[in-house]
Amino acid sequence: MKTELIAGAGNCRLILYFAGWGTSPDLVRRWDIPDDYDLLLCWDYRTLQFEFDLSRYQQLHLVAWSMGVWAAEQCLPANISLQSSVAINGTPGLIDDQFGIPSAVFSGTLHNFDDSTRAKFDRRMCGSREVLRQYQAGTLRANDEIKAELSAVYQALATAKAPHIRWQKAIVGSQDRIFPSANQLAYWQRQGCRIEQIDAPHFCFAHFDNWIAICR
């Protein structure tokens, strides 16, 4: 896993962001960060080693999108204490016909991945040409890299940890065609999590530009 810390002097609050599969942290890099917070960007799950020292922070706020919800469960310590925890268009049940991505969809994407598959995935993720243009305006990772990431995650599922994070809020896009909205709702309703539904596709970041607004 890759990480990048955006830090100020002496800040004691940290926002942890776990990105979705195949994406760059540039998607959220320009969001407004409060003056007294640091931001740790986490992405690229070809390995799930998390070696960042969280002990100096008095408050931790977790925001995870898509596959990042599952990755946070795998990377963060079981005893982690979170001031807030928000899942965006994802669940800890990464491959699950009822609570996550349908298994046939996941395996089909992995085993047939090429330029055409990626283009189709991006269109489904964004939902419209306008949103697709917004997504593609940012930094795009190489195809071979994100295919390797998907393969590594698929293999890691065989020894995956059971969910341990108490997610406080789930943001669910009603037009999500990657993590089906119905599956997300089915999972979070069983957990008693606060659910916020928005009219958005899987890539829903046009709705956000402020970390604190998401964490509330």
The secondary element (H helix, E strand) that includes residue 118 is helix 115-126
Give the pTM: 0.96
CA distances to 40, 143, 167 from 191, in Å: 27, 35, 9
For residue range 156-201, list pLDDT tens digits in order. 999 999 999 999 999 999 999 999 999 999 999 999 999 999 999 9
* Residue 65: predicted pLDDT: 98
Reference 201, options 117, 89, 106, 116; nearest CA is 89
For residue range 197-210, list pLDDT tens digits in order. 999 999 999 899 89
In this predicted structure, the answer to whether residue 8 has a pLDDT above a threshold of 90 is no
Single-letter amino acid code for the residue at 86:
V
For residue range 61-75, list pLDDT tens digits in order. 999 999 999 999 999
How large a percentage of the chain has pLDDT more than 70? 100
For 127-152, letters b (16+ CB in 10 Å) and e give beeebbeebeeeeeeeeeebbebbee
Which three-class secondary structure state does DSSP give residue 84? strand
* Residue 96: predicted pLDDT: 97
138 pLDDT band, cuts 50/70/90, is confident
Strand order, beta sheet including 84-88: 2-6, 37-43, 13-18, 59-65, 84-88, 169-173, 194-198
* Residue 137: predicted pLDDT: 87
Report the C-alpha gap between 144 and 137 in whole angstroms. 20
* Residue 45: predicted pLDDT: 98
User: What's the whole-number mean pLDDT along residues 94-122?
Assistant: 96
Structural domains of the chain, with CATH: 2-215 (3.40.50.1820)
In this predicted structure, the answer to whether residue 104 has a pLDDT above a threshold of 90 is yes
User: What's the whole-number mean pLDDT along residues 119-147?
Assistant: 94
For the chain, the average pLDDT equals 95
The secondary element (H helix, E strand) that includes residue 156 is helix 143-156
Single-letter amino acid code for the residue at 66:
S
